[in-house]
Structure 1
Amino acid sequence: MQHTCKLAMAQMRMTDSIEENLQKSLNFCDEAADSDLLFFPEIQLSPFFPQYEKRNADQWCMQESAPELEALQEKAAEHKLYLSPNVYLEQKGKRYDTSLFITPEGQIADRTKMVHIAQARQFYEQDYYTPSDEGFKVFDTPFGKIGIVICYDRHLPESVRTCVLKGADLILIPTANTKAEPLTMFEWEIRVQAMQNQVFIAMCNRVGREGGMDFAGESLVVHPSGDVIVKADDQEQLIRCELNLGEAREWREKVPYLGTRRPEWYL
């Protein structure tokens, strides 16, 4: 197994136009053509509509067969990279905040839906999203196992821990963090979870002002030691780094936190 992964994150500014957001996503695919894996912020093809209570979001919702997703699948196949877009997806009459996992052949291998749904000022997500009916998933790649934890899910430590217990070497977090939020605390949250679970974690955020929210960027990648490998500013950009995912397993052998767990005593 190759362990080195060329990771790319598209820190994006969104508009009210699905077409513009899609074209920007496709352009990032072209820019990341020499990468192994590219992922995006939360609900990348739409404005952040959950900042408003109980609005009609039909125009932002799509089926898995949508032409926009087919265009992203084609880009994955063109550049032979793994792609994980995050979209507002409908399945069997229910709507989910969903990250797809697209293979280098352009096939949707599977999907992860947000498990925990927030309901707070400017994050009225329970008005729009159904909680996942499938739980957390981990995807096999030639360079390691990839888990996905969507935005608010990361605040519940069971999310990252579950992915790691399923074998994840790298956790992707598509998110929507604003400048009004405790960004320093959010960085430490990721660093501590990476260290405690001895896993690489990459978090990709939106940028720009949308309505009453100013998205912060500051996407980052954290090593299993808890050290920050790369951290962006608040500008739109493609972030790249090369990770040896085998180091996650090395750290678990060196400091066996997971091996000393006693789940029979946990609630």
Structure 2
Amino acid sequence: MSREEENMKLEEHDVETKIVLVKEHSNKKIQKHRAQRFREEWLNSFEWLSPVAGNSLRAYCTYCKAKLNAEITILKRHERSTKHKLTAGGASRISASHFPLLNYIKKEKNYNSGLEFRPESIKRVNSSEKISIKFNTGSILSEAQHSNQENIEVMAEGDQINSVEEILEAYIPENELREVKRILYGNHIPTLDLPVKAQRFADCNNFDLKAYAIHAQQEELTPPRIVKVGLIQNQIVLATTEPIENQRTAIHSRVTEMVEVAFMCGVNIVCFQEVWTMPFAFCTREKLPWCEFAEDPINGPTTLLCQELAKKFNMVIISPILERDEIHGDTLWNTAVVISNSGEVLGKTRKNHIPRVGDFNESTYYMEGDTGHRVFQTQFGKIAVNICYGRHHPQNWMMYGINGAEIVFNPSATIGGLSEPLWGIEARNAAIANSYFTCAINRVGTEVYPNEFTSGDGNPAHREFGHFYGSSYVAAPDGSRTPSLSRIRDGLLVVEMDLNLCRQVKDKWGFRMTQRLDLYAQALTDALDPKYQPPIVKDIY
């Protein structure tokens, strides 16, 4: 029975009271049995379960996108079904709107009737959960490139592991797991209770929602300085071939949903990923259409939206965008706009370090920023923004600390094949070295572009950048860190932190006191001299 037929059959039973006739062996009497209603405690037993608004007799599987009768036996049977297990495996959870390659293929059908796309032809082809997409090629693909009938296998998001933490929890005995996590992640960071409505909303809208609390020691004279931060990671929503305005509007809509959940969770400061309103298309080296995503940091549509959200939810919003500086010759910048919880633009800061590695061809679009290491005094604490590639430079992190930052956000866009082994180290190390909190945010998903491009490494031309692995996390000045968000799904990470921990760690470790800035200031001044000779003591041999 197909999913559609199963759903239609279930809908036929969607009545106010279901009567079940049960024949008793003793007296053959017929008794009535009232249908069960949805119970809140079931949410603790089934991670995929969500209620159906306005109908307590029904339940909803967020993995299979199917409605079920709200009866415990039906829910258990559904969880054991092959269909549910396959869907829960990963790839089938991803809708077409969150798989840009599928959108690209469907989009091409609109341009060329010779390309036939059949969603029903998507299937798993082996245990590694690849997706096979079968389509007939028309004139859009030349015969020299492809045959008339071709099977194309693309790696689905389900091939990627969801998170390292899940693997640890699945394979390490419970009595050893806590100690392993202490060694890997530092002091135990407890989870934070979330409103039920927030979790339901996240489940229904298919994004990861996690929350943790990082505490400081209680002090006699200074009350706790509690602030909640939210980190949002997301895929692009539409294919890169869609109109620019449609792409941006779809991302605005998606992220607005997640900001609403952040508000439900009591978030005070939320930060989005690097250039969050667009695909990270700088790998293509094409100026059009990607430069059209650039906008004014004060009056552009993204800032106007963020101002509205900030004021509505009493929330500071950090919005990294591609900036168009009309005053200075229409120059492009990689910029983070900081909006106060009052709705006013507090200021902006620009990316200090621009990569020149692999497909990160950003220096053909914009240059290094000219705003230095600004720190923004907000109602909730002193914050700074170290955009993406700046996390590779310890001096960059250091200057934000010298200027008084208590929380430094690192909105990024980076891929697994290049930087993933570094990801969990750099922001955490910066938190330790500079006695502040760091918040590392990375986009997620694989973005496919209409035209092929090369990487200058001898490999064939390609149309995708690689897998953006998400894994956003928060690190504390005492060296502890939260688990990461998913590597494959959109997500919101909520972390409650006590800013008193910054000062307490400075008192304990004395890193700032022993920093010797004067020593390095003189050494760096000397090193900048063109006639500089390194003080190397040579052995005679």
Q: Does 1:262 align with 2:262?
A: no
* Aligned counterpart, 1:89: 323
Q: Distance in 2 between matches of 1:84 and 1:14?
A: 18
Structure 1 position 184, deviation (Å): 2.8
Q: Distance in 2 between matches of 1:185 and 1:87?
A: 24
Which structure is richer in relative contact order (CA contacts within 8 A, separation 6 or more)? 1
Q: Distance in 2 between matches of 1:2 and 1:49?
A: 43
Q: TM-score, normalised by structure 2?
A: 0.48
Q: Does 1:58 align with 2:291?
A: yes
Q: Does 1:22 align with 2:252?
A: yes
The 1:219/1:69 distance shift into structure 2, 3 A limit, reads same
Q: Can you list the C-alpha shifts for 1:57-104, whole angstroms capped at 9, x where unaligned? A: 321110121123201110110001000011000122221111111011
Structure 1 position 54, deviation (Å): 4.4
Match of 1:248 among 498, 502, 513: 502
Which deviates more, 43-52 or 137-146? 137-146
Q: Which runs of 5+ in 2 are unaligned?
A: 1-222, 241-246, 449-463, 525-541
Partner secondary structure for residue 342 of structure 2: coil
Alignment map for 1:161-240 (pairs within 5 Å): 161-211=398-448, 212=464, 213-234=466-487, 235-240=489-494
* Aligned counterpart, 2:347: 110
Q: CA RMSD in A?
A: 1.5
Q: Distance in 2 between matches of 1:25 and 1:236?
A: 10
Which deviates more, 46-55 or 235-244? 46-55
* Aligned counterpart, 2:314: 80
Corresponding letter in the other structure for 1:23: S
Q: Which runs of 5+ in 1 are unaligned?
A: none
In the alignment of these two chains, the number of paired residues is: 267
Partner secondary structure for residue 492 of structure 2: strand
Over the matched positions of the two proteins, sequence identity in percent amounts to 24
Corresponding letter in the other structure for 2:295: M
Q: TM-score, normalised by structure 1?
A: 0.95
Alignment map for 1:38-53 (pairs within 5 Å): 38-53=270-285
Corresponding letter in the other structure for 2:364: D
Is the Cα contact below 8 Å between 2:228 and 2:269 reproduced in 1?
yes
* Aligned counterpart, 2:200: none
Partner secondary structure for residue 50 of structure 1: helix
Partner secondary structure for residue 259 of structure 1: coil
Q: Distance in 1 between matches of 2:418 and 2:496?
A: 29
Is the Cα contact below 8 Å between 2:303 and 2:337 reproduced in 1?
no
* Aligned counterpart, 2:212: none
Q: Distance in 1 between matches of 2:337 and 2:351?
A: 11
Corresponding letter in the other structure for 1:11: Q
Name segments (4+ residues, structure 1) moved above 6 Å.
none
Is the Cα contact below 8 Å between 2:295 and 2:301 reproduced in 1?
no
Q: Distance in 2 between matches of 1:161 and 1:108?
A: 26
Corresponding letter in the other structure for 1:32: A
Partner secondary structure for residue 228 of structure 2: strand
Q: Which has the larger radius of gyration?
A: 2
Structure 1 position 11, deviation (Å): 1.1
Structure 1 position 159, deviation (Å): 1.1
Match of 1:69 among 292, 303, 315: 303
Which deviates more, 40-49 or 2-11? 2-11
Corresponding letter in the other structure for 1:261: Q
Is the Cα contact below 8 Å between 2:228 and 2:268 reproduced in 1?
yes
Q: Can you list the C-alpha shifts for 1:188-218, whole angstroms capped at 9, x where unaligned? A: 1222221111111001110010132211010
Structure 1 position 40, deviation (Å): 0.6
Corresponding letter in the other structure for 1:52: T
Question: Larger % of helix: which?
Answer: 2
Q: Distance in 2 between matches of 1:204 and 1:154?
A: 11
Q: Distance in 2 between matches of 1:39 and 1:134?
A: 19
Question: Larger % of strand: which?
Answer: 1
Q: Distance in 1 between matches of 2:352 and 2:365?
A: 13
Q: Distance in 2 between matches of 1:63 and 1:193?
A: 31
Is the Cα contact below 8 Å between 2:334 and 2:366 reproduced in 1?
yes
Is the Cα contact below 8 Å between 1:99 and 1:112 reproduced in 2?
yes
Q: Distance in 2 between matches of 1:78 and 1:142?
A: 16
Structure 1 position 219, deviation (Å): 0.4
Is the Cα contact below 8 Å between 2:282 and 2:361 reproduced in 1?
yes
Q: Distance in 2 between matches of 1:2 and 1:96?
A: 38
Partner secondary structure for residue 21 of structure 1: helix
Q: Distance in 1 between matches of 2:366 and 2:483?
A: 31
